[in-house]
Amino acid sequence: MYNTWYSADTLTNNSGDDTGLDFDLSAYAQVHRFVHMTEKTILGANWGYNVLIPMVSKDISIKPVGVDADTSFALGDVILEPLVLNWPRERFDAVMALAVIAPTGDYDVHDAASPGYGYWTGMLTAGGTYYLDSEKSWTFSALTRTLVHTEQDDTDVRPGAEFTIEGGIGKQLEFNHTWLVRPGITYCATWQISDDSQDGPGTLASERKQAYGIGGEINLFYLPWLLQGNLRYVHEFGAKNTTEGSSAVFTLTKSF
């Protein structure tokens, strides 16, 4: 289960400068993820599948243009990932996955706090973790996602494709053969890699979004229960044509 809190009070323009609008956004998402790794192999990889079901709350205000809206814990856009391939090796683990994001959340062009986006998305995930020592205590990870969207019904705008990367470097420590603790530094970046199909409400087709983030995290794994928790904080910078703020994510995972 993922719990994500995001807040921002800066909205940037095409030059990366603050637009100066009296802007405020706070959002919370609770995402339930159900994963099953099978005993079957494809191309030498373990095959699995999963589904992610988000519940979203938003509160957004842009006073100069009269926007003041909120949504209370509504269903967002569900992610269906029927193909997850994992290649575990001695010094690295690699992963590739294909998913579709369905527009199950409500979307209204006149509601800035809509929990959904109003379009379908195809998503390709690829990345892995490299172990920097033979004990696998030092790790470096990178995970990329490429997202391609369909046309948004209410606006007839097809948003440009996006490319994101996230990861980090960490050190795993063991205590009493019971706890695994991994503190680390985390990073992320996102770029819009193609133009929107046309201008939309408050946007120009040629103005592509980008943002970067850096932060820290700690992961705790209680071995007797196969239960782990992860806490991550990321501060954004270098944003263009989008919000710039910070996020905190708490993840709770139970293995069976």
The DSSP code sequence of the chain is -EEEEEEEEEEB-TTS-B----EEEEEEEEEEEEEEEEEEEETTEEEEEEEEEEEEEEEEEEGGGTEEEEEEEEE--EEEEEEEEEEE-SSEEEEEEEEEEE--S---TT-TT-SS-SS-EEEEEEEEEEESSTTS-EEEEEEEEEEEE--BTTTTB-PPPEEEEEEEEEE-EEETTTEEEEEEEEEEEEEE-S--SS-BTTB-TT---EEEEEEEEEEEEEGGGTEEEEEEEEEEEEEESSEEEEEEEEEEEE--
Burial code (b: 16+ CB inside 10 Å, e: under 16) for 162-189 equals: bbbebbbebebeeeeeeebebebebbbb
pLDDT tens digit string along 183-205?
A: 999 999 999 999 999 987 778 88
pLDDT reported for residue 112? 87
Burial code (b: 16+ CB inside 10 Å, e: under 16) for 28-53 equals: ebbbeeeeeeeeeeeeebbbbbbebb
Q: Which regions of the chain are under pLDDT 70?
A: none
Split into its structural domains, the chain has a count of 1
Q: 128 near 92, Cβ under 8 Å?
A: yes
Cβ-in-10-Å burial (0-12, 13-18, 19+) of 99 comes to: buried
Q: What is the CATH number of the domain that holds 214?
A: 2.40.128.130
pLDDT reported for residue 226? 93
CA 16, CA 89: separation in Å to the nearest integer? 41
pLDDT reported for residue 185? 98
CA 24, CA 32: separation in Å to the nearest integer? 27
φ, ψ dihedrals at 64, nearest 5° = -60, -25
pLDDT reported for residue 64? 75
pLDDT tens digit string along 88-131?
A: 999 999 999 999 999 999 999 888 899 999 999 999 999 999 99
How much is the pTM? 0.93
Residue 211: domain span:
2-254
**CA count, 13 A, side-chain hemisphere, 143:** 14
pLDDT reported for residue 72? 80
